[in-house]
Structure 1
Amino acid sequence: MAAPRKYSLELRERAVRMYRASDPKPQIKRLAAEIGVHPEALRGWIRRVRGRMC
């Protein structure tokens, strides 16, 4: 059985949308602190979305 997710899917999607909508792009560390997630988690979500778009 998989471990429960720490962050909801809605939070993940909202965080990536916030990052992508920002111009200029914010520092991941700063945005992560604003929304209350770990910076490496946010970085991973952004990378996954970029990978699907390419």
Structure 2
Amino acid sequence: MYRSRPGATIKAIATDLGVNPETLRNWIRAAGAGHGRGRTEGAPAVPGSSVEADLAAARKRIRDLEEERDILRKAARYFATETGW
């Protein structure tokens, strides 16, 4: 919003959004538009590779846990038949 409205100030946009101007200023800095009115074209506001790497790691962890769960289920079934429970 800050980048799309050239004449607007941080204070005016913060008032429109109902947030503290300093909070909005911090968000803009975190997005990579701290100095001036924008970023260089093509530069992501939030580094996507970090999010994608976290997602890939989480998906791998889920696969590993599902595999462990399946192994434990098979082992429980095997021991239940062996002991006659």
For the superposition of Structure 1 and Structure 2, which TM-score range results when normalised by the shorter chain?
0.5 to 0.7
Q: Pick from 21, 24, 30 the counterpart of residue 42 of structure 1.
A: 24
Residues of 2 paired with 1:23 and 1:34: CA distance?
15
Q: How far has the Cα of 1:20 moved from its partner?
A: 1.5
Q: Pick from 31, 42, 45 the counterpart of residue 13 of structure 2.
A: 31
Which AA in structure 1 matches 2:32? R
Residues of 1 paired with 2:6 and 2:13: CA distance?
13
| Structure 1: stretches of 5+ with no match in the other structure | 1-17
TM-score, length-scaled by structure 1: 0.53
| Structure 2: stretches of 5+ with no match in the other structure | 34-42, 44-85
Number of matched residues?
36
CA RMSD of aligned residues (A): 2.4
Q: Which runs of 4+ in 1 moved over 3 A?
A: none
Instruction: Report percent identity of matched pairs.
Output: 44
